[in-house]
Amino acid sequence: MEILKLKENITNGAFEEKIKFMYSCTETKKYNDRFIEVIDGLEENFGKKEDVRIFSAPGRTEIGGNHTDHQHGCVLAASLNLDVIGAVSLNGTDTIRIKSKGYPLDEVNINELEPDKAEYDKAKALIRGIVKKFTDMGYTVKGFDAYTVSNVLKGSGMSSSAAFEVLVGT
């Protein structure tokens, strides 16, 4: 959606019912403010954009079977109303650029997807791995710019890295 129209729709409450449903809330102002923040962050970091999309990926909690999935077991999980949100725009290049609030810019060339040990434990490794899997499955991946904001508490057991991975994949 064109960026000014998107911001106008958010401000005027066009997405109010969707936001209420998504966050199980009655008051949407703080969520609207987050969406405006993420759109502004995209523009501040990557310049004016014509076509912008907004995505959300929730954190999660494991109700039962915590960590058994690592041994191919079953887990009962539930999503939270805490999430990573991103404003995203295609950039016409072969580069994915993601700037997350409070973190340095991550850039990944979609033609260079082999693992890099220097990137282990960094967001770039997650991005590269997700893109590699998509391309291995035959999907077309294009370069994009994204600015993300998260309220999923890092290191809290709410799967902040998994939420980031789902956002990138989406």
- 116-156 confidence digits (pLDDT tens): 999 998 999 999 999 999 999 999 999 999 999 999 878 77
CA distances from 137 to 38, 48, 65, 91, 117 (A): 30, 33, 29, 23, 23
pLDDT of residue 69: 67
Contacts of 22 (CB under 8 A, 6+ apart): 56, 81
Residue that wins the pLDDT comparison between 78 and 168: 168
pLDDT of residue 75: 81
- pTM across the whole model: 0.91
Residue 53 buriedness (CB in 10 A; 0-12 / 13-18 / 19+): middle
Residue that wins the pLDDT comparison between 113 and 64: 113
> Using the 8-state DSSP alphabet, how is residue 67 labeled?
T
Helix spans in the chain (H): 3-11, 16-23, 29-46, 123-136, 160-169
pLDDT of residue 78: 82
pLDDT of residue 27: 94
User: Is a pLDDT exceeding 90 seen at residue 167?
Assistant: yes
Torsion of CA 129, 135, 140, 146, to 10 degrees: 0
pLDDT digits (tens, 9 = 90+) for 55-107: 999 988 878 777 776 778 888 888 888 899 999 999 999 999 999 999 999 99
pLDDT of residue 59: 87
Q: Which amino acid is at 122?
A: K
